[in-house]
Structure 1
């Protein structure tokens, strides 16, 4: 950036910022920023222009730009806020410079445009690159969190765990189910695992194949698997497709599956009457002793 132009912009930063804030605020009623609090909107805008002017002294590449982009990602603001803001700043700056010029002709205009572009373009590139990198990192962390939640293994009692499955099961998720299942069985020392497919909308040949593989893997490490949540329409589909689920028990509900798990781990359900109400008390079977 030309030294004279640089001096002019810095010395008149207050006027340029005022014009920029005015234009940005006028757009607010039409954009997503209308839902943002007045205080946050104003403070973010002022931080934005401060970051831009800081880049003038440091030749465009600053840590402040990176920090500001990351902050916007954390706030959930879209990339358009950065690009629109910079373009507005570019126009406001050019208009101000030209307003201070004694003579404006095509040659002078071209010089001003070129100088401002050389200043603003690196700022745009750095802001966009840092924003994109921060966004991808955030999405990656969210994807990992969702994967962990998509195939949870929940210990509900000594030696008994449940894996509730909800939603569509594709190849990638099936792989995650297998990994979590085997790791969880060993970690929780589970003797019986209940795979609950109540929330799985469709059980086709591929889904059944993945479930059978998971159950077989559990069996190979010395545990047992019970498939629960077999709804009538799911049962009919399994029969029509000729899928063989005879290698491990199936139950229509989690309650029935849990009862079977208790029996497999040598526990009984004892019913007692107290004030005419049924109270189910889970007791370790005497066979254990």
Structure 2
């Protein structure tokens, strides 16, 4: 494509920013808590990408698009709305170019711009996947940790719903924690699990059995009356499981297993 097309647009850049502002603001910036200065900065940045990066080498263009996609995600701007705004810019440019250039020239420019829009969408999707992976990793590290409370005694407190994915994290964390803390007794506290159905009970039983298979005592604590009733109603057999109603009673049992007990200090 002739460089005169990009020169034609570049000379009118400020004009296009002003005109495009009327189209894109209702789509992208109206509901966003951005200062006017930051919104202008983003408008100018995408115009520069349209004007300059269509003709830069692939590597440089990809890097700029990644940075821009990262900024959109950081400020919580909907990519779909922004892309619709870019298509409004595309239509605006086409109307102006139609007065100066052949249809072939315009189609070539549009193809380049459409390719850039697709790459922006791809880079944004990759950035979001990366963020989700990072969040999932953080969830794995921060949720359901095995916490040592005494030498050889550790507690895992389950809070919230236990689904299949979370059950996998629980299993990994409890087995890794047993090795790290050299636990002899593990208390699994389900006080914070709001609902225990067949699936949840199945996940908890699997964790319990895995702990016993590695030679560690396991005590299930926090079985409230309503959970006990549900377990009986569902026909789940916990007769071979060591259970306690509260964490306190579970700790007392764990101390007994490890030949220890808590005594009150003599008063002076």
Q: Could you say whether these structures have the same fold, taking a TM-score greater than 0.5 normalized by the shorter chain as the test?
A: yes
Instruction: Name the SS for the 1:162 alignment partner.
Output: strand
Structure-2 separation of matches of 1:215 and 1:118:
59
Instruction: Determine the structure 1 residue equivalent to 2:247.
Output: 254
Instruction: Determine the structure 2 residue equivalent to 1:286.
Output: none
- The question of whether the paired residues in 2 share the 8 Å contact of 1:163 and 1:196 is answered with yes
Deviations 1:108-165 (A, max 9, x none): 6845652441231111111111111111121122122223334321222221111111
Segments of 5+ residues of structure 2 without an aligned counterpart are none
Deviations 1:61-80 (A, max 9, x none): 71312321233233332212
Deviations 1:149-197 (A, max 9, x none): 3432122222111111122223333233222211111111011111011
Segments of 5+ residues of structure 1 without an aligned counterpart are 102-107, 276-289
The answer to whether the aligner puts 1:58 opposite 2:51 as a matched pair is no
Aligned counterpart for 2:166 among listed residues 164, 173, 193:
173
Aligned counterpart for 1:151 among listed residues 129, 144, 147:
144
Instruction: Determine the structure 2 residue equivalent to 1:36.
Output: 34
Deviation, 1:26, is 5.5
The answer to whether the aligner puts 1:2 opposite 2:18 as a matched pair is no
Going from structure 1 to structure 2, the CA distance change for 1:245 and 1:79 (only over 3 Å counts) comes to same
Going from structure 1 to structure 2, the CA distance change for 1:26 and 1:185 (only over 3 Å counts) comes to closer
- The question of whether the paired residues in 2 share the 8 Å contact of 1:227 and 1:248 is answered with yes
Name which of structure 1's ranges 17-26 and 217-226 shifts more when overlaid on structure 2.
17-26
Name which of structure 1's ranges 153-162 and 239-248 shifts more when overlaid on structure 2.
239-248
Structure-2 separation of matches of 1:212 and 1:238:
12
Structure-1 separation of matches of 2:263 and 2:18:
77
Structure in which a larger fraction of residues adopt strand: 1
Instruction: Determine the structure 2 residue equivalent to 1:232.
Output: 225
- The question of whether the paired residues in 1 share the 8 Å contact of 2:196 and 2:227 is answered with yes
Instruction: Name the SS for the 2:182 alignment partner.
Output: coil
Structure-2 separation of matches of 1:160 and 1:263:
11
Q: Which has the larger radius of gyration?
A: 1
Instruction: Determine the structure 2 residue equivalent to 1:210.
Output: 203
Name which of structure 1's ranges 131-140 and 6-15 shifts more when overlaid on structure 2.
6-15
Name which of structure 1's ranges 19-28 and 158-167 shifts more when overlaid on structure 2.
19-28
Structure-2 separation of matches of 1:155 and 1:224:
14
1:71-90 pair list within 5 angstroms: 71-90=71-90
Instruction: Determine the structure 1 residue equivalent to 2:15.
Output: 15
Instruction: Determine the structure 2 residue equivalent to 1:280.
Output: none
Structure-2 separation of matches of 1:23 and 1:242:
62
Instruction: Name the SS for the 1:198 alignment partner.
Output: strand
Going from structure 1 to structure 2, the CA distance change for 1:211 and 1:82 (only over 3 Å counts) comes to same
Aligned counterpart for 1:126 among listed residues 119, 128, 147:
119
RMSD (Å), alpha carbons: 2.7
Deviations 1:69-110 (A, max 9, x none): 233233332212430231132133234435x64xxxxxx684
Q: Where in structure 1 do 4 or more consecutive aligned residues deviate above 6 Å? A: none
- The question of whether the paired residues in 2 share the 8 Å contact of 1:151 and 1:177 is answered with yes
